[in-house]
Structure formats: C-alpha cells, structure tokens
Structure 1
Amino acid sequence: MPTHSLTPRALSRRAFLRNSALVTGAAAAGTLLTACGSSSESGGGDGNGSMTYLSILPLETLAMAPELLGVAGGYFAKHGLDVELQPVKGTAQAIQTLISGIGPVCRAGQIDLMTTMSESQRPLIAIGTLYRGSGLRILYSKSDPLTKPEDFVGKTIGVPSEGGTSSKVVSLVLASGGFDPAETPRQVTGLTPGTFNLVQQGRIGGYVASIDTSNIVLSQHEDAGVFDPGTVVKSDSQVYLTTTEVMEKDPDTLKAFMAAIRDSIAAFVADENFDETIAKLREQYSFATLDDDVIARKSLGISRELWTGGDPNQPLLVTHEDAWLAGYQELVDAGVAKPGGDASSWFDNSLLPDAKA
C-alpha cells in the first residue's frame, strides 16, 4: 500500500531542527547549520551522501514528479545520495536558505532568477533546465474566456502571492500584447481546484494553478477553460539552482543530483503510458492527482512535453543559450528585469551528464 506521508522518511531530530530553521528563516541558519549536520564545505551534505533539496512546491503535486521518482525509484540512491525533500515557502525563501547553506540545490523559475540577478548580483547559478515552457496554467470560465492577452485587461486574476512568479507571468502575458500589466488587478487566492468557485461566482476572472490542478478542474467543470502562458511568454522556464560556492566546493554532489534527476526524467520519457512510473510513485506517495489514473497520465504527458521541449531525443536538462537570452530580453522589454545583466554567466551546463559547458 502507498504511504500517505509525503516525507520520504520519518523526521529525525536532525531533520526537525532543519525544518525549524526553514520556518524561522535564514537568519537563524548560520547557528543551526552544525545542528542540522550540514557543512558549508559540502553545500548542505553531511559527508555521507545526505542532502536537503529545497522545494518551492508542495510535495503533493505531479509538478514534483522528477524529484519524487528520484526518491521512490531509487535514482538518488543509485548515485550515492540520500535526499530529503524539504518544502519552503516560495522562491524567495528557497534562494535565501540556499545562500545560507541549508541545502545545496533548489528549483526556481527563470523569471525569478533573472529578476534577482539583474537587481543585485547574487552568488547564484542555474545548472540545468527542467521545464522548457510554462509549468503554470490560468483557469477561467468559458462564459468569460481568457484566451489571448487582451482578454486579461481589467480582469482580476488570482495568484498565490503578491509579486511572485505567477503574478509576474500574468504581467508578461499582458506585456506580450502591448498592454500595461497594471490594468489587471491581482488577488491572492488558493491554488486548489475549489478556487474555481470564485471564478464561477464572478469574483475573479481566473486564477493561476499547476498543470495537474488545472486538469482536475477541467475534469470536474464543463464550463472550465485553461490558458497556457507559454504560448506567449518565453521566459517562464524552470531551472535547478545552486550557489557558486557549492559549485566550487562540492561539484560531485551536484553532479550526482543532476544525474539522478536526468535518470528520473528519462524513466518518464521511456514509459509511454506511465504505467511503471506511476506504480513506482504510488509505492511511496499518495495524493489526489497521483491517485487518479486519468489525471496522472494527462499531467505527466504535458510535463514530458515540457521536459523534452517536444523532442525526446534531445539531451535532457541542457540550458540553451539562445532561448535563455531571449527570455532575459523579454523580461527587460516588459520592465520585469533590469537591463545590462550578463545573462550568459547565470547558467552553466558543465555539471550535467554528457553535456558541455
């Protein structure tokens, strides 16, 4: 039977202390690193292959499928790693705790990395691209559709936080059509399928959700429609992020992590109907979108297209400079990122299996 715990193993005292550090913020991180068993020399490892992965996403979503299968399928263990998946409250906290040394790697949006780096040079670097398009969807009612940028003008859009990635993506959708993002108010809402009731009631025009949540809503409501921001936005990719210090002092841990993620993604790519990968995930995890065969297969199919860029033969996780720079230019043109940044220095492919820098 699958476990209903989304933590891969029971919390030890060391893990409890680490979780406490994440909740109270990175200000306490410096004094807690020793108690957590972390080492600034090893970038969050404890010398025996253990590491903390900082997740900006809740674990109860198939958007986390590569990392979840990395644990459940033994891919991390194959590469000598014992990985604890640790959710944090959004990208800002993930970056803060990453820099503090609590964990050596996290996932973040290209948008967030570029806006951060353009505002103040931070010791951050992207070491692999997971999603080659938007992992977000915007749900709306067919009675008042959101199918093109002009449809968003004057509508209130639900987002999980003020000024976060989702809100920036909405701004980029508007900017792509030449519209002022300020013309579209944002309201902080939940990300659950139940939030669609606010759309039906006319209280919001739509809201940003994950791929698997959008698939649940579409299956439950005939009046629901979905907009893919990636049809007009270039920069909404997702990358694995580390610090330059960890990259210099502990590249082997990062190489092992990226190799395990590559193997995990490759398993999804090779599993045509996801029979084996879904079964393996269910051995250890249980949540709504994973437990529903139709939703799980549909969501993983969409994600697979985004992981491979539609070409299963291309090397996984490689960041392509032309797409990377085009994304930065889009952010600059939209006023989301500051100009003049050396975006080419913000990524490095050298830690990937069979990839060149």
Structure 2
Amino acid sequence: MPVTEFTSSALDRRSFLMMAVAAAGAPLLAGCGSGAAGSSGGKKTTFLSYLPLETLSLAPELLAVAGGHFAKHGLDVKLQPVKGSPQAMQTLLAGISPITRVGQIDVMTAVADTGQPLVNIGTLSRGSSLRFVYSKKRHPLAKPQDFVGQTMGVPSEGGTSDKVVSLVLASAGIDPKQTKRQVVGLTPGTFNLVEQGRIVGYVVSVDTANLLTSKNSDVGLFDPGKYVKSDQQVYVTTKDAATKDAQTLTSFMAGIHDAVAAMVADQSLDETVKKLRDEYSFASLNDDKVAKASLTMLRNSWTGGDPSKPLLVTDKAVWTAGYKELTSAGVAKPGGDAPSWFDNGLLPKT
C-alpha cells in the first residue's frame, strides 16, 4: 500500500468562499489524497481539520482511517484541512461538512458571544494538547509574567491558540493585550523567528514540540495546561446536522471511539505506529522516539490520566467550569446556558 507524504493543502480564502457558495450542492471537498486521507467504501463524509494533516494531534482521525475504524461503521471519511479553527467553524456552519474538532474555548465563545448553533458531541482531550516553544538562551517562558511586552506566534488570529495565550495571561491578572500576537506557521522551521528575536515563542502541537526538543537543545516548552483548564478538544456539529445527519455522526463518533480505545489499549504503541506508518509519512511519525512520546502525552490527555473512565464523554461539571473560567477572564460573554451546548447522545453506548 502506498504511503502518503502529506503536503499542505489548507483552503485559502478564495477556495473557502467557493465552497460556501456551493454549500447547497452535492459532493464538494476533496481530501488530502483520496487514499491515505480517506477510508474506502461506505457513506462519504468530510471531517474538517483546523490542523494540518501531518501531525499526531490528529492521531484519532488518522488511525480511524488507517485502521479501518470508520469503514467498520460504514463511513468513507475524507480529512480536509482548513486554515485554523475560525474557518473550520465557518465551513461547518455553511453546511459543507457535518463535523469538525476544535477547542472548547472556540465553541463557547462562538455560542455565548454570537449565538452560533454549535453543539459539542464528544470531548476528546481532558487537558491541553498545546505547548508554547521558546528559546532557553534568548528569553525563557516560565510563568505568565514572562510574556508581558513580547510577541507570541499563533497559527491563526482569534483561534484556540490565540485565546489560550490570553487565558494564560488572564490567569495571573495580566491584560492579554500586553502580549502581541503574530500569525506564523506551525512547523519546526518557525523556531528561526524565535532565535532571531522576532517572536518570543509560538504555539505548537505536542508532536511538533517533541520534534523540536529532539533536534535543538535550546528549545524550551511551556505547558499552558498548568494555567488554563478550558482548553479541551471537542467534536462539534451544528444543531441542524445533529438531527439531519445523526446516523453519520453516530458512526463517525463510533469510529473515533474505536481508534482512541485501540491506542489506549496498545501500551507499547508499536501496533499504532505501524498502522499509521502503513498509510502516512511525516516527520514526527517517522521518528520512533518522538512518535511514541507524543502519542503517550496525547493518550494521557484523552483519558485524563484514568483509562477506566469512558472515552469522549463530556463531563457537565468540567464543561461548565470551563465556561466560568472563560467568562471570568472576559474571553466569553456570561449568562449562557453551557449545559445546553453539549450532547453525549451521539456517542456509542459502552
């Protein structure tokens, strides 16, 4: 079976607008390679990824394709990257795809601030899967105060990463405006901007962070999860799609559940890495040490450190506490009914 080496194919604004115009039409999105980025056979559907596909942060979706978990539940899923979580939600709301995965922060701000009809149908991570990378020599980032007067790199303006930076600052009573933001790429090469002093650091996925530290001893990591509790990853649909596409969404979440459960059960991660490499090729996956370290960190976030707890289930108390954190920091408008913004009803009964 040929291995797909991913290249960036995120939608530019023109492509997005063309898709939005065609939203009422028939099949639209082509995945990033019909082989490795999609499962074969079954009902066709599209998953919108705010991340580039070449990251282990997408391990559940990638393994659900490569391991046949989507196919087992009757789906042929295309994984389509878009430019950041704001565009992922815009594309979802346009009706082009029934499902995406974004941060709890993004969902809550969209619903609380502008009344968007979004619904969380499954919580993947019980902690932050982001890391801030910085130069140990140039300007260490050990606490929120170290960000004041600096510029942080983020993948998109107003997205999850941008808001997490704000929440880290707000946790220490610092006005988020005291740290500027600059949109940068998510690649290891962006560290050159840190070394040049153009940015103090930037926000990356866990595997990119591990890849950087394995190659450069000057790379330091800041874990925002020590300060931010609402940075969970959630699967999101619209209220309309939750009814219209209920069967597709139920099958999708079953495939994701099976993929995550397989990785939790695979203690050594040998089988997981093998299956992923049978289909995909990218830097963090191709390095044994980086791949297993990243998957272990991600797996811990999926289980919340307790593998006995049911996967993907949204905990009402944790969800509402996240909303309180956001409103207290001024990131989301208060007064919303947070429990009505999630629904565990499309998850597999276990």
TM-score, normalized by length of structure 2?
0.91
SS at 1:239's partner residue?
A: strand
| One-letter identity of the residue aligned with 1:4 | T
CA distance in 1, matches of 2:72, 2:61: 14
CA distance in 1, matches of 2:50, 2:263: 22
- Residue matched to 1:3: 3
CA distance in 2, matches of 1:114, 1:26: 25
SS at 1:53's partner residue?
A: strand
1:163 to 133, 150, 158: 158
| One-letter identity of the residue aligned with 1:109 | G
1:85 positional shift: 0.9
1:305 aligns with 2:306: no
1:76 aligns with 2:70: yes
- Residue matched to 2:265: 270
RMSD, aligned CA = 2.2
1:119 aligns with 2:113: yes
SS at 2:281's partner residue?
A: coil
* Range that drifts further, 66-75 or 164-173: 164-173
1:169 positional shift: 0.6
1:354 positional shift: 2.1
Unaligned residue ranges in structure 2 (runs of 5+): 30-40
SS at 1:126's partner residue?
A: strand
Question: Contact 2:124–2:233 (CA<8 Å) still a contact in 1?
Answer: yes
CA distance in 1, matches of 2:267, 2:42: 35
| One-letter identity of the residue aligned with 2:87 | Q
* Range that drifts further, 203-212 or 47-56: 47-56
| One-letter identity of the residue aligned with 2:308 | N
SS at 1:137's partner residue?
A: strand
1:128 positional shift: 0.2
- Residue matched to 1:290: 285
| One-letter identity of the residue aligned with 1:287 | F
**Residues matched between the structures, number:** 336
Which digits, 9 at most, give the CA deviation of each residue in 1:194-241, with x for residues without a partner? 111222222221111111111111111112110111111011111000
Which digits, 9 at most, give the CA deviation of each residue in 1:28-57, with x for residues without a partner? 1335x22549xxxxxxxxx95211111111
SS at 2:102's partner residue?
A: strand
Q: 1:165 to 1:25 in 2, by over 3 A?
A: farther
Question: Contact 1:2–1:286 (CA<8 Å) still a contact in 2?
Answer: no
1:20 positional shift: 11
Q: 1:169 to 1:220 in 2, by over 3 A?
A: same
* Range that drifts further, 337-346 or 141-150: 141-150
- Residue matched to 1:133: 127
CA distance in 1, matches of 2:82, 2:15: 7
- Residue matched to 1:343: 338
CA distance in 2, matches of 1:6, 1:263: 24
2:275 to 274, 277, 280: 280
1:153 positional shift: 1.4
1:292 positional shift: 0.7
1:164 positional shift: 2.0
CA distance in 2, matches of 1:156, 1:21: 29
| One-letter identity of the residue aligned with 2:68 | G
CA distance in 2, matches of 1:124, 1:21: 24
Question: Contact 2:84–2:155 (CA<8 Å) still a contact in 1?
Answer: no
| One-letter identity of the residue aligned with 1:159 | V
1:79 positional shift: 0.6
SS at 1:166's partner residue?
A: helix
Q: 1:6 to 1:196 in 2, by over 3 A?
A: closer
1:314 to 300, 309, 312: 309
Q: 1:175 to 1:273 in 2, by over 3 A?
A: same
Unaligned residue ranges in structure 1 (runs of 5+): 8-17, 38-46
1:22 positional shift: 5.0
SS at 1:131's partner residue?
A: coil
1:2 positional shift: 4.8
CA distance in 1, matches of 2:251, 2:198: 47
Question: Contact 2:20–2:96 (CA<8 Å) still a contact in 1?
Answer: no
Question: Contact 2:86–2:158 (CA<8 Å) still a contact in 1?
Answer: no
Question: Contact 1:191–1:209 (CA<8 Å) still a contact in 2?
Answer: yes
- Residue matched to 1:42: none
Which digits, 9 at most, give the CA deviation of each residue in 1:94-120, with x for residues without a partner? 222212221111111111111100112
CA distance in 2, matches of 1:25, 1:216: 36
Question: Contact 1:29–1:97 (CA<8 Å) still a contact in 2?
Answer: no
1:194 aligns with 2:189: yes
TM-score, normalized by length of structure 1?
0.89
CA distance in 2, matches of 1:195, 1:85: 25
Q: 1:30 to 1:217 in 2, by over 3 A?
A: closer
- Residue matched to 2:328: 333
* Runs of 4+ in structure 1 over 4 Å off: 18-22
CA distance in 2, matches of 1:34, 1:203: 45
| One-letter identity of the residue aligned with 1:87 | P
SS at 2:280's partner residue?
A: coil
2:93 to 92, 99, 116: 99
Q: 1:354 to 1:209 in 2, by over 3 A?
A: same
